[in-house]
Copies of this chain bind each other. A is one copy, B any other.
Amino acid sequence: MDAIDLRLIDLLRDNARSSYAELARQVGLSAPAVHERVGKLEAAGTIRAYRAEVEHEAIGLGVTALIGIVEDSGADTDDVLSALRVMPEIESCYFMAGVESYQLTVRVGTIAELEQLIVRINRTRGVASTRTAIALSTKWENRPQPGLDPTAG
C-alpha cells in the first residue's frame, strides 16, 4: 500500500469502470502493472466490490429512512443481528456506541412498506424499541473522500 495504490483506489472510487489502460496512464505505469496491483488490492480485501450507484426513485426504492434500535437488556446481540441481516430493505447496519445498539439505513418504496418494516423489526426477539427518522431529501450520498496514507504523517 503505497501512494500509487492509494491513487488507484481513488481513481476507482471515482469511476469503477475505468479501463486498466486508462488507470495506467493516470498513474504512469504499464497496464499489466496496474492490473497486478488492483488484483492484489482486491485479494487483500482493500477493494471490496465495484458497484453502480443508482437513483433510488427510478428503481422503486424512493423512501429512505434511518432507524435506531435499542436492545432488550440481556438480549443476544448475534440473534438480533442475524434477524436484521435477512431483511433486504436494510442497506447499511452499524453497531453503535450509545443507547441505540444498531443504526440502520433502510430503503423501501412506500411509507406503508416502511411501516411494515418497522413493525417487523419491533417484533424481533431482543429488540426493545426503535426510533425512525425519514429522509425528506438526499443532499448527497457515498461521496468518496480521498484516502490518506496510513504509513505517512
Is A93 close to B, CB under 8 A? yes
**Cα distance, A136 to B146, chains bound together (Å):** 22
Contact B66 A94 (CB under 8 A): yes
Is A96 close to B, CB under 8 A? yes
Contact A143 B95 (CB under 8 A): no
* Chain B residues, Cβ within 8 Å of A58: 1, 44-46, 147, 150
The secondary structure that dominates the A interface is mixed
Q: Among the listed B15, B46, B91, which residue makes an inter-chain contact with A143, where contact means beta carbons less than 8 Å apart?
A: B91
What is the CB-to-nearest-CB distance from A112 to chain B, in angstroms, rounded to a whole number?
A: 12
Contact B145 A54 (CB under 8 A): no
Contact B60 A148 (CB under 8 A): yes
Contact B144 A51 (CB under 8 A): yes
Q: Given A93-B139, A94-B66, A95-B136 in contact, is the A145-B61 Cβ separation under 8 Å?
A: yes
Knowing that A51-B51, A59-B147, A94-B139 are A-B contacts, what are 18 other residue pairs whose CB atoms are under 8 Å apart, sorted by A's residue number? A9-B52, A9-B54, A14-B51, A15-B50, A46-B58, A47-B55, A50-B52, A54-B147, A60-B150, A61-B147, A90-B143, A93-B139, A94-B136, A96-B133, A97-B136, A98-B134, A100-B133, A103-B135
Name A's B-contacting residues (CB within 8 A).
1, 6, 9, 12-17, 44-55, 58-61, 64, 66, 81, 84-85, 88-98, 100, 102-103, 107, 109, 133-150
7 contacts between A and B (CB under 8 A): A17-B17, A46-B55, A49-B53, A60-B148, A88-B143, A91-B142, A97-B136
